[in-house]
């Protein structure tokens, strides 16, 4: 009787061992990656964000459109933005923002004339006579605008000067905003169709600028 009971106990223990082994075989393998090793997306370069957000130059705050690519500051350029190209234009248009200090960069009119002088009109027409001008006020700051179509004499990296390559079928829009720390210069250049599309957003941006 005792022997029979012992045999039954041994058979039961053997069955439990088989069940435990089978369970161990079917269990998923433990993860080898802990939370500290989970890869994350690389942070976006803050100097090239395309999402709309406030920018500030020399005490003037403005909000570039979300459709513009933000290239960040570079050298004398306090901000750089790019858009397009649209239609059959070969290149995108761009807006560059300059600030040279409270007493640097020359007067408003001198810079407007310099910008106009970077354009060549067909048949040797006078760009000063053909340029369109305008004025506005943004949060009490005087704004001055000049615009012109023609062939653009790129500055070869010099933001306010002429010379360099001549680019046909271009449009130039220059805006000077007289801010609390001195004038800030917004210069748009690009192939005509793309520049005209960017121009509307530029004017909305500078007219909504505030101190």
Domains and CATH numbers, the chain: 49-207 (3.40.1000)
Which residues are within 8 A (CB) of 123 and not within 5 positions of it... i.e. 6 or more apart?
none
Q: What gap in Å lies between CA 153 and CA 117, rounded to an integer? A: 9
pLDDT for 86: 93
Residues of the chain with pLDDT under 70: 1-52, 104-105, 155-163
- Could you tell me if 187 and 207 are in contact, meaning their C-beta atoms sit under 8 angstroms apart? no
- Could you tell me if 164 and 186 are in contact, meaning their C-beta atoms sit under 8 angstroms apart? no
pLDDT for 156: 44
Q: Please, how many CA atoms are within 13 Å of residue 37, restricted to the half-sphere of its CB?
A: 4
Structure tokens at 125: 């027409």
3-class DSSP state of 61: strand
C-alpha distances out from residue 142 to 19, 148, 177, 184, 190, Å: 86, 21, 6, 11, 25
pLDDT for 124: 87
Q: What gap in Å lies between CA 111 and CA 124, rounded to an integer? A: 22
pLDDT for 41: 28
pLDDT for 107: 85
- Could you tell me if 95 and 171 are in contact, meaning their C-beta atoms sit under 8 angstroms apart? no
Q: What is the pLDDT of residues 152-203, one digit of tens each?
A: 998 644 544 444 789 999 999 999 999 999 999 999 999 999 999 999 999 9
pLDDT for 12: 41
3-class DSSP state of 132: strand
The size of the chain, in residues, is: 211
């Amino acid at each position: 009787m005792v022997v029979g009971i012992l045999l039954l106990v041994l058979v039961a223990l053997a069955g439990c061992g088989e069940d435990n082994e089978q369970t161990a075989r079917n269990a998923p393998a433990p993860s080898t990656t802990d939370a500290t090793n989970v890869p994350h997306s690389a942070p976006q370069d803050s100097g090239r964000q395309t999402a709309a957000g406030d920018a500030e130059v020399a005490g003037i705050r403005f909000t570039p459109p979300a459709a513009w690519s933000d290239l960040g500051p570079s050298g004398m350029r306090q901000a750089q933005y790019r858009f397009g190209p649209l239609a059959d234009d070969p290149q995108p248009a761009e807006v560059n923002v300059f600030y040279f200090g409270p007493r640097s960069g020359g007067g408003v009119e001198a810079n407007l004339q310099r910008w106009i002088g970077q354009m060549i009109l067909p048949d040797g027409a006078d760009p000063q006579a053909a340029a369109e001008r305008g004025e506005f006020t943004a949060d009490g700051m005087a704004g001055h605008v000049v615009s012109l179509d023609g062939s653009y004499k790129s500055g070869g990296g010099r933001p306010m000067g002429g010379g360099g390559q001549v680019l046909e079928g271009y449009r130039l829009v220059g805006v000077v905003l007289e801010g609390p720390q001195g004038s800030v210069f917004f210069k748009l250049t690009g192939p005509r169709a793309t520049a005209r599309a960017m121009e509307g957003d530029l004017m909305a941006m500078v007219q909504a600028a505030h101190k």
